[in-house]
Chain A
């Protein structure tokens, strides 16, 4: 399926050289100019903002609720991966990663070990959550993923009292698969689902506290462009060609034989 879509994309790109390049692949890890966050928040309000494709680390204690937030745009299917480095000696612990959208609605994971139990003294536990594809629009009664801020909560959900407070290290990374035009739906939100967006001041203020301020690398997409334009235009062109072909078929090659040369 993947090769088919790659092939088709290549074909389409060849067929319509003038068409703008189809949506970019998943955001590449940006240059190491800025350091990735080395801390985590402890609530939705204080969640640490991370970019996609960056590895965020945080030291915490067993029993802490660690929060990060990241922006996800239309057509992306984010995958959240978390690794918890457990202390040397500990009892069996169950860890869980939860993902919430900008409205703090819990988002389902399609695949991935969202909850895992680490055996006693296991050095680490790895968790993953593959979200559904982010759509540009959905009905208000649905809880489909929409472009905006997403929250990641990492915590131990089953932990004996003896292990409470033990130091743990955690690593979180979010990457997105680009689903492209197959997920392009009609309609769009006026503003992405970013908490506090209605009260954000017009001009950017240094150090001003906001609930979530991070945007995708090249801004929020308008949702107008999708590779459906290329497919439809190519389909129209091919249909026109086929029409010409069909017409030619009925006329036969060259001038009809029965017509005199001087007619």
Chain B
């Protein structure tokens, strides 16, 4: 079996190598980092009245934040476009309506002039309200444009004072609009309520939440986040799956993102040639409070509705994401009659079994990430063992015994033949 198949496989591989250049022109696939823009970071600093409290290493929260900002501005990598936005910096009054609009751009997002940015930071004095929601909306506007990674770093010492606009929902809306926007939050000497609110904002966008008690902690963390923004990351391509296989978008190899609502299906199509292997993996993120038991199902289905293979996963407890994947190697065609083999359209269906806890908004849908790779197919196994070879003492014993018996039989046979020859 092996000897018959291997030359064919080698020939196929050679042919594939030769045709690969023609069949898949470089740069056609999605998810490539061609011409990616500079990463953008917007630091959003709470300058509300409570920042006057002197409880960070003996100095005021504001002083600690200023010192941290100075050190971060010094350490910011060249390629990062950094901006600074304040909230509650200008309006000292009691009018809630005006106070909740109090957010301003201190330093615009763009190439960084360290001296200028530091001078701007030095002017800040703790003043007003804490309008986190509106500030996040404005910060998202600051970062608009470009296809580089975008990050908002929110530093606050008190929860949002501008209900009913829930900053958590605002964060989710922002994440749903833009691709690759992450909000990281830092709480200065936080209360339990602030911890909950800031970690909710962070989880809504796949960001992180840190509680800060010391000044060096603040510097380290903000630095870490700015540097993280500078790392090259594959940006996914937005797509929109259909409710059924007909009308579903056809995807090529790459990384894609979509939104999937609770209890809804998302369908995509991928073309697979004979002898190719389709690899797909999907992860659905929990960007809001969900019940602690959940799952995801990814099915590869033919256009006629027959299921080929599925990947499923279920989980329980706190999670950021649930993911699964599948492989579908399409067999080589037996009757290769010369004409170009037709690609098979494989439909990929994604469903999730998250359920929102009561009172949580179900729109926009949960973030869905899909990777599709169409590669050459595997060489099939003809035997359980590698090339059908054996191994172990039992094998040696069996071979020795067989050899010995064969020798005996051969010896007796030849003795018998000699005896017959002699009698004749």
Residues of A within 8 A of B (CB): 8, 39, 42-46, 59-61, 63-65, 100-106, 136-137, 140-141, 143, 155-159, 161-162, 164-167, 181-182, 184-191, 193, 195-199, 201-202, 205, 207-211, 223-224, 226-229, 231-232, 234-236, 238-251
- Given A141-B309, A187-B378, A195-B373: A228 and B386 interface contact (C-beta under 8 Å): yes
Q: Cβ of A231 and Cβ of B326 under 8 Å apart?
A: no
- In the complex, how many residues of chain B place their beta carbon closer than 8 angstroms to a beta carbon of chain A? 100
Give Cα A198–Cα B313 distance, bound, in whole angstroms: 25
Interface core residue of A44, A227, A229, A247 (most chain B CB under 10 Å): A247
Q: Establish whether residues B381 and A187, one from each chain, have CB atoms under 8 Å apart when the complex forms.
A: yes
A231 → chain B, closest Cβ, in Å?
4
Query: Contacts of A247 on B, CB cut-off 8 Å?
Result: 407-408, 410-411
Residue with the highest number of chain B CB atoms closer than 10 Å, among A46, A157, A164, A245: A164
Minimum distance in angstroms from B418 CB to a CB of chain A: 9
**A236–B402 CA distance with the chains assembled, in angstroms:** 10
B375 touches A191 (CB 8 A): yes
Residue contact A243 to B403, C-beta cutoff 8 Å: yes
- Contact call B403/A246, Cβ cutoff below 8 A: yes
Query: Contact at A190–B377, with CB atoms within 8 Å?
Result: yes
Q: Is the CB of B399 within 8 A of A198?
A: no
Nearest 5 A/B pairs, CB to CB: A246-B407, A103-B325, A250-B411, A239-B403, A187-B381
Per the bound structure, the CA–CA distance linking A241 and B182 in Å amounts to 71
Q: Is B178 an interface residue (CB 8 A)?
A: no
A238–B328 alpha-carbon span in the complex (Å)? 43
Closest to A101 in B: B325
Q: Which residue of A lies closest to B401 (CB)?
A: A242
B20 to chain A: closest residue by CB? A202
Q: Which residue of A lies closest to B408 (CB)?
A: A246
Contact of A181 among B373, B376, B391 (CB under 8 A): B391
A100–B315 alpha-carbon span in the complex (Å)? 13
- Do the beta carbons of B384 and A186 come within 8 Å of each other? yes
**A246 B404 Cβ-Cβ under 8 A:** yes
Question: Which chain B residue shows the least CB distance to A60?
Answer: B208
Q: Given A103-B327, A248-B411, answer yes or no on A231-B403 (Cβ-Cβ < 8 Å).
A: no
Most buried by B among A157, A243, A245: A243
Majority secondary structure of chain B interface residues (helix, strand, loop or mixed):
mixed
Can you list 14 A-B pairs with a CB-CB distance of less than 8 A?
A61-B211, A103-B279, A104-B325, A106-B315, A106-B324, A208-B232, A209-B235, A211-B255, A224-B386, A228-B385, A231-B392, A232-B389, A232-B390, A242-B403
Stretch at the interface among B57-65, B105-113, B187-195, B341-349: B187-195
Q: Are A42 and B207 interface neighbours, CB within 8 A?
A: yes
Contacts of A103 in B (CB 8 A): 279-281, 311, 324-327
Instruction: Return B273 CB to nearest CB of chain A, in Å.
Output: 13
With contacts A140-B326, A243-B403 taken as known, whether A45 is within 8 angstroms of B382 at the C-beta atoms is: no
B211 in contact with A165 (CB, 8 Å): yes
Inter-chain contact A100/B386, CB cutoff 8 Å: no
Q: Are A228 and B408 in contact (CB under 8 A)?
A: no
Q: Are B390 and A231 in touch, CB under 8 angstroms? A: yes
B90 contacts partner chain A, Cβ-Cβ < 8 Å = no
CA distance A127 to B373 in the complex (A): 32
Q: Which of B33, B209, B398, B411 contacts A246 (CB 8 A)?
A: B411
User: Are the CB atoms of A105 and B324 closer together than 8 Å?
Assistant: yes
Tell me how many residue pairs across A and B have CB atoms closer than 8 Å: 270
**Complex contacts, A155 vs chain B, CB 8 Å:** 318, 320
Query: How far apart sit A106 and B323, CA to CA, in the bound complex (Å)?
Result: 8
Q: Does the CB pair B388–A209 fall under 8 Å?
A: no
- Contact for A196 among B319, B373, B392, B415, CB less than 8 A: B373
Is the C-beta of B231 less than 8 angstroms from some C-beta in chain A?
A: yes
- Chain B: which residue is nearest A146 at the CB level? B327
**Given contacts A196-B371, A231-B395, A249 and B411 within 8 Å (CB-CB):** yes
Could you give, for residues 344-383 of chain B, a 1 whenever the CB lies within 8 Å of some chain A CB and a 0 otherwise?
Answer: 0000000000000000000000000101111111111111
Assembly CA distance A216 to B191 (angstroms):
46
Proximity bits, B26-40, A CB within 8 Å = 1, else 0: 100111110010000
Task: Choose from B321, B382, B409 the contact partner of A43 (Cβ within 8 Å).
Answer: B321
Chain A residues in 8 Å Cβ range of B211? 61, 164-166
Please tell me if the beta carbons of B403 and A105 are within 8 angstroms of each other in the complex: no
Residues on A with C-beta less than 8 A from B207 are 42
Q: Are B318 and A39 in contact (CB under 8 A)?
A: no
Complex Cα spacing A63 to B184, Å: 13
Contact B410 A211 (CB under 8 A): no
Contact: A193 with B279, CB < 8 Å? yes
| Nearest CB on A from B290, distance (A) | 14
Residues of B within 8 A of A193 (CB): 279
A157 to B199, Cβ gap below 8 A?
no
B83 touches A (CB below 8 Å): no
B246 at the interface (CB under 8 A from A): no
Q: A140-B309, A242-B399 are in contact. List 20 more A-B contacts (CB 8 A).
A: A42-B206, A45-B369, A61-B221, A63-B209, A64-B209, A103-B311, A103-B325, A105-B281, A136-B386, A141-B309, A155-B318, A157-B317, A162-B195, A189-B378, A190-B378, A198-B373, A232-B389, A235-B396, A242-B403, A250-B414
Set of chain A residues within 8 Å of B311, measured between Cβ atoms: 103, 105, 143
Chain B hits for A100, CB < 8 A: 323
Most buried by A among B198, B309, B375: B375
In the assembled complex, the CB of A9 is this many whole angstroms from the nearest CB of chain B, namely 11
